[in-house]
Amino acid sequence: MERLQQYIDGRFEDGAQAFESLDPATGTPWALIADASAADVDRAVRAADRAFNAPEWAGLTATARGKLIARLADLVAEAAPRLAQLETRDTGKIIRETGSQIAYVADYYRYYAGLADKIEGAHLPIDKPDMEVWLRREPVGVVACIVPWNSQLFLSAVKIGPALAAGCTVVVKASEDGPAAMLEFARLVDQAGFPPGVVNILTGGPEAGKALTTHPLVAHIAFTGGPDTARHIVRASAENLSKTSLELGGKSPFIVFDDADLDSAVNAQVAGIFAATGQSCVAGSRLLVQRSIKDDMLARLKVKAEAVRIGAPGDMATEVGPLCTARQRDRIERIVADSVAAGAKLVTGGKTPDGAGFYFPPTILDCTDTPDAPCMTEELFGPVLSVIAFDDETDALRIANDTQYGLASGVFTRSLTRAHRMIRGIRAGIVWVNTYRAVSPIAPFGGHGLSGHGREGGLAAALDYTTVKTVWLRTSDDPIPDPFVMR
């Protein structure tokens, strides 16, 4: 088995313990992963704190920081094939997705490399004649980045990139499920020439997570994952009043009106729910389709779903691979069964196939008569589409907003005025119109409610890792009057 080490204070090392990582396609161990202890986390955070204050990092100009991040971007681009193979092997994501996504990760680092010397302060037209007042944006300090197993390189880039651009240092806790690509990424950080301690990467379970989120030297916690874990993080951060940004899950509505280009809507829906085997926080898991075209769209989706190629994630012909873990597959199978028992109609899929690996087929459930079925309300994080019919715009908005989540949404219509009404009415951080799952380093990404708070991507993310310092400078040479002498 391959042995992968953690990266602390510019050194690669084993953890206090180690665990086996399973290949989701076969269910067999393939790598031995360093498992960080609370003591390992403490050393990493203290290293990041030292680096934050050391001249090797703190003394760099913003332009020099940007050049280091640009060097990292180039190394990511060069290493993309190797990183993609590791992520595919360790998470089960198909190689045709990991390859293109990791190549795009390099663009995120390039964007933040260019942004590093463009984080500006401001001059205030103050109401006092003998004062100059301006604002400085300064880095908050040590940032704890906690990422889940799906798309770890991407989900860490949208944290590491802006944090480094702002001048912070980071401690990344990769998920204990599928962390191989992140630990390999540490080698690129080392090769890029960042001073020791600026970037630290480790992995581990609840012990490491608790140690990181409660550490008094952590100024900001950036987390991607589920609401339950987020609640623990918020409670853990309260003692130190650490700032948090939370990018959580979703139960995103995908709304199709009867005037939509149905071929485009079907293709976008297939990509929105079956790409990445449905293991995406923005998965379009709730299809809201206007009643008059529901049967037609369901028939087209059934054909598409049943034609999907399920296979080994390393095969370029594979379109849907395995889920990352057995527990995820088992949970999805249970919720689908419970939904059918509650009255949802199984259109296709729904059963775990025979054989090795953590596979689950593309599944469609018609919940028009059972809007409260578990599959309609719970985030499954798998290739399961729940369908419900609506009558008009008012009905569509009611159903779309009937959720505690608020991350993403999609609207398919040829009517520009209707699109604008839906954009205003949908409660979500992202609205895609006549497209789905489009992302860019330039555009902020995030939600509200149980989908979290804060934004990743764009200038907003970099500013989130800064604090504002107000500077007052008195310009008069006259002595300051004695405040206790009446005049």
Question: What residues are labeled active site?
Answer: 247
Nearest to 364 by CA among 392, 345, 378: 345
Nearest to 360 by CA among 371, 373, 375, 370: 375
Give the Cα separation of 119 and 137 in Å (integer): 7
- Beta-carbon count within 10 A of 232 CB: 14
Q: Is 88 helix (H, G, I), strand (E, B) or coil?
A: helix
Residue 255 identity (one-letter amino acid): I
Task: Retrieve residue 48's tokens.
Answer: 């990041």
Q: What angle (nearest 5°) sits at the alpha carbon of residue 97, between those of residues 94 and 102?
A: 120
How far lies 360's CA from each of 60, 326, 340, in Å?
A: 50, 10, 16
Q: Are 288 and 255 in contact (CB under 8 A)?
A: yes
Nearest to 232 by CA among 199, 205, 202, 200: 205
Give 448's contacts (C-beta < 8 A, 6+ positions apart). Answer: 406, 427, 428, 429
Specify the long-range contacts of residues 339-344, CB closer than 8 Å, at least 24 apart.
339/365, 339/367, 339/370, 339/373, 339/374, 339/375, 339/376, 339/386, 340/365, 342/370, 342/372, 342/373, 342/374, 343/369, 343/370, 343/373, 344/370, 344/373, 344/375, 344/386
Q: Are 137 and 120 in contact (CB under 8 A)?
A: yes
Dihedral of alpha carbons 270, 97, 225, 450, sign: negative
Q: Is 60 helix (H, G, I), strand (E, B) or coil?
A: coil
Task: Retrieve residue 305's tokens.
Answer: 């779903």
Q: Is 24 helix (H, G, I), strand (E, B) or coil?
A: coil
Burial of residue 301, with CB atoms counted within 10 A of its CB: 0-12 exposed, 13-18 middle, 19 or more buried:
buried
Give the Cα separation of 311 and 463 in Å (integer): 42
Task: Retrieve residue 438's tokens.
Answer: 């489009």
Give the Cα separation of 224 and 159 in Å (integer): 10
CA 71 to mean position of chain CA atoms? 23
